[in-house]
Amino acid sequence: GSGNVILSGPVHNFPFRHHEGRFIVDSEIKDLDLYYHDGWPTIQDINGELIFEDAGMTMKANSGKIYQAQLQN
């Protein structure tokens, strides 16, 4: 896969909850399994984009599986 990283600002203030800097990781994901929490189903074989921005995380999934059911965007 491919991706980009931006880290700008005083590292001791990471993860920049008060906009003291910028932290961004934007990465292509392939066949990722997401185990979110006890009691929640694992989402498997996720393909798409994973973005960490400051203290947040976003996933833009094009496909995956949950309980063997195919997911498509």
pLDDT digits (tens, 9 = 90+) for 1-31: 689 999 999 999 988 889 899 999 999 999 9
d(CA 21, CA 68): 41
The three-point CA angle 34-35-41 to 5° equals: 100
pLDDT, position 55: 85
Predicted model pTM: 0.75
8 vs 64: CA distance, rounded Å: 33
Band (73; pLDDT cuts 50, 70, 90): confident
Say how far apart CA 30 and CA 36 lie, in whole Å: 17
Predicted local confidence at residue 50, as pLDDT: 94
Q: Averaged over 36-45, what is the pLDDT?
A: 94
